[in-house]
Chains A and B, each alone.
Chain A
């Protein structure tokens, strides 16, 4: 049986698991500036970032990154990367998923999901990614 999602996160404290996952950011107690991920220490309060946003910029990673540090599958498939603007809060770097590599545009509406780092391995670590919203689902 596959381990529960909560124990498969690639790191602790960067997102919540479950039906509607959220990235966990940090809000600077002095300045109010929001950052992701939340830095260690007590200068930043944890906040749940919005789970929907728009693509701010994007690219395709077309060669396998070197290991270490990359921990993805040895058999490489190009993946899409983006910065996603989350409703006036912050712009976060993230993979894109469930999207055709030739159909990505700046301004596309997307929502947060968790996906396996290695889709072919059961129980793979989970990473955050954004996927297109169904047409008409944007707020």
Chain B
């Protein structure tokens, strides 16, 4: 079977960009990706794109060119980008196309995400009584995990400290100043055990990736960054998800377990083969838990890993080299593709001050979102 390659990667910086719509940030990312690939919009045979809160992606043909291409909108929560990438890869692997684009963008109002119960098939009382908050779920999930696996608050703080340190080295990041551990740990509490530096904030940004068959990528003379596997999965029974009025006594796995297992199987490699990883870190604990859920360590090992700096850019498994959601903010529709963008840049050796040393060859990205979806992509050069 032909490999699918990522031949162009473009980004509109994350954070806040007053006066530019989320969709127009998407257009900026598309043009950057096309230029990077050395091709043009008129060459695109298809597009998959989406946002959570910034409008219908396909309306951007008005800006990019009315070429008549099929443009399919994707709206899949935090997995929007991963789902667009999955669909785009399939469109090439099926053999009907050899060049197309996946796009994710968003622009959220300030403050916590404000979900409505009916959007999640929940009764109105769940929101009226004060349960409809992602922050609450994340806090409840890590509190249980810390209790079971001996993770300390200091370890949570180290995740944020690393994120802001990496963000300071990353041109597309939002938070570009290092924050010391003491400040992180003593900041105002938002939802115990998380202080304000331990949560990402809703933000803006956009990413586009140009995909090609291996044959087409060679024709265009681009470096071959192969998409070895992409897997998007929903939750199994007994999982613990955001917005859950009740959970099962008999505990089960997670959507991430499925997506990770299947992606490794498709790629024919294991966690030990990964040189750099981008793991969903909407809050510090998510990065901790996702290290284990994706198979990189055992539950509880994170305490030692963080203390020893193993997930630093210079560590044995660099994690969230661009500062992740903690430093880049969370534009829901764009974050999944930002991770893949960062991996493309790392595999090309073009990441500048945040470049992972040792010529990384294999890179991993993972998103997780409500109501229990996950997408994993594995790249190799």
Does chain A bind chain B? yes
Which A residues contact B (CB, under 8 angstroms)?
A: 10-11, 14, 25, 33-37, 56-63, 65-66, 68-72, 79, 81-83, 85, 88-93, 95, 106, 117, 125, 127
Q: Are A37 and B245 in contact, with the CB atoms below 8 A?
A: yes
In the complex formed, the residue of B with least CB distance to A117 is B129
Q: Are A66 and B114 in contact, with the CB atoms below 8 A?
A: yes
Provided the pairs A56-B144, A59-B191, A117-B129 are in contact, do residues A36 and B246 lie with their beta carbons within 8 angstroms? yes
| Interface stretch (choices B130-138, B329-337, B345-353, B370-378) | B130-138
Interface string of B98-124 (1 = CB under 8 A from A): 000000000000011010110000011
CB distance from B235 to the nearest CB of A (A): 14
Q: Are B128 and A71 in contact, with the CB atoms below 8 A?
A: yes
List the A side residues contacting B245 at CB < 8 Å. Answer: 36-37, 92-93
Q: Are A95 and B248 in contact, with the CB atoms below 8 A?
A: no
Q: Are B144 and A57 in contact, with the CB atoms below 8 A?
A: yes
Q: How many angstroms between the C-alpha atoms of A60 and B192 in the bound complex? A: 6
Q: Which of the residues A62, A69, A81, A89 comes within 8 Å of B190, measured between beta carbons?
A: A62
Q: Are B143 and A72 in contact, with the CB atoms below 8 A?
A: no
Q: Are B246 and A92 in contact, with the CB atoms below 8 A?
A: yes
Does B64 have its Cβ within 8 Å of any Cβ on chain A? Answer: no
Q: Knowing that A69-B128, A71-B128, A117-B129 are A-B contacts, what are 5 other residue pairs whose CB atoms are under 8 Å apart, sorted by A's residue number? A: A37-B245, A59-B140, A61-B130, A83-B144, A93-B246
Q: How many angstroms between the C-alpha atoms of A69 and B278 in the bound complex? A: 33
CB distance from B95 to the nearest CB of A (A): 41
Provided the pairs A57-B141, A117-B128 are in contact, do residues A93 and B244 lie with their beta carbons within 8 angstroms? yes
List the A side residues contacting B123 at CB < 8 Å. Answer: 11, 14, 37
> 24 A-B pairs, CB-CB below 8 angstroms?
A10-B129, A37-B245, A57-B144, A59-B191, A60-B189, A62-B191, A63-B112, A66-B111, A68-B116, A69-B116, A69-B124, A69-B128, A69-B132, A70-B128, A71-B127, A79-B130, A81-B131, A81-B136, A83-B140, A85-B249, A89-B249, A93-B244, A93-B246, A95-B130
Does B147 have its Cβ within 8 Å of any Cβ on chain A? Answer: yes
List the A side residues contacting B127 at CB < 8 Å. Answer: 65, 68-71
CB distance from B144 to the nearest CB of A (A): 4
Q: Which of the residues B116, B117, B247 comes within 8 Å of A83, measured between beta carbons?
A: B247
Q: Are B144 and A65 in contact, with the CB atoms below 8 A?
A: no
Question: Of B124, B133, B190, B246, which is in contact with the most chain A CB atoms at under 10 Å from its CB?
Answer: B246
Q: How many angstroms between the C-alpha atoms of A24 and B130 in the bound complex? A: 19
List the A side residues contacting B112 at CB < 8 Å. Answer: 63, 65-66
List the A side residues contacting B147 at CB < 8 Å. Answer: 57, 106
List the B side residues contacting A65 at CB < 8 Å. Answer: 112, 127, 130, 132-133
In the complex formed, the residue of A with least CB distance to B109 is A66
